[in-house]
Amino acid sequence: MDERAGKFKLLVIDPDKIIYEGEVTNLFLQGDTGEFELLPYHYPVLSVLKQGEIIIDWKYTIAIKHGIIRFFQNECVVIVELND
């Protein structure tokens, strides 16, 4: 079985740098209408993010002011403004 079968590509960026890039098994986010989790091969998503935390693989957190997310074809791109 392919090791990557249970993962998806994640890129988290702000206007100045790449914050996180790699393959992950899950991503937990604060959407503008509520919290949600993304898993591999999730249905396509486009959402605004509100202030809160992005949690990667239930291990790493990134505090953000706001952002947007796009999940499509097992690839996720998150553009954020970080908390100071």
What's the number of domains the chain is made of? Answer: 1
Asked if residue 8 belongs to a domain, the reply is yes
pLDDT 10s digits, 36-73: 999 999 999 999 999 999 999 999 999 999 999 999 99
Residues 17, 50 contacting (CB under 8 angstroms): no
Please report, to the nearest 10 degrees, the dihedral formed by the alpha carbons of residues 71, 49, 55, 7 taken in order: 0
Asked if residue 59 belongs to a domain, the reply is no
Cα torsion angle, 71, 74, 79, 83, sign: positive
Asked if residue 49 belongs to a domain, the reply is no
State pTM to two decimals: 0.91
Domain ranges, residue 20: 1-26+75-84
Asked if residue 9 belongs to a domain, the reply is yes
Sequence-ordered list of residues with C-beta below 8 angstroms from that of 40, at least 6 positions apart, any chain: 5, 6, 7, 8, 25, 74
